[in-house]
Amino acid sequence: MSVLTRKHPVSDTSGLRGQAVHAVHQVGPLAQQVAHQAKPLARTAGNSIRHGADGAMSWATPKVDAARHWAAPQLEQSAHAISDSLAPMISSALISAAHKIDVEPKKSKGRRQALMVGAMMLTAAGGAAAVIATRRMHSADGLPA
């Protein structure tokens, strides 16, 4: 052994290396024997797992189907309740929001001016008709116009 390290020198063929070689020679056949015994156990375990999974599936399927059978009408009832109560409220809220944000169209000035001109012409025509009617009444009475 070296003074500076605690490692054994490579050339040291004393007890440790020999013991390791002897252990490998003893464990080798034992490992082969265990491997030969493990193969059928592994096959059996695979089959057991497959059968267990099939059993779990056959046990769980009716329970899952029952849960689905119960949940379907619940979902449908919830959908009807939402469409009957909540949907109209949402719809009316959206409609009122649309009315609040909508900008009223501005009336065109040309149309307003045309109405004003028409009203003025109608007033003038009415006034002229009144003047003419008054003159005729005065002339029929023999009064000077």
Looking at the chain, the whole-number percentage of residues with pLDDT higher than 70 is: 86
| Angle (nearest 5°) at CA 11 between 10 and 17 | 75
Report d(CA 137, CA 141) in Å as an integer. Answer: 6
Query: What residues does each domain of the chain span?
Result: 26-99, 109-145
**pTM exceeds 0.85, yes or no:** no
Write out the two tokens for 33: 């024997």
Write out the two tokens for 14: 């004393």
| 109-127: b (≥16 Cβ within 10 Å) or e | eeeeeeeeeeeeeeeeeee
Report d(CA 86, CA 79) in Å as an integer. Answer: 10
Q: Report DSSP state, residue 79.
A: H
Report d(CA 74, CA 81) in Å as an integer. Answer: 11
Over range 1-13, report the average pLDDT. 58
Residue 144: predicted pLDDT: 58
Q: What is the pLDDT of residues 27-44, one digit of tens each?
A: 878 888 888 888 887 788
| Residues 101/107, Cβ–Cβ less than 8 Å | no
Which amino acid is residue 119, in one-letter code?
A
DSSP-derived 3-state class of residue 13: coil
Q: pLDDT band for position 3 (50/70/90)?
A: low
Report d(CA 1, CA 16) in Å as an integer. Answer: 13
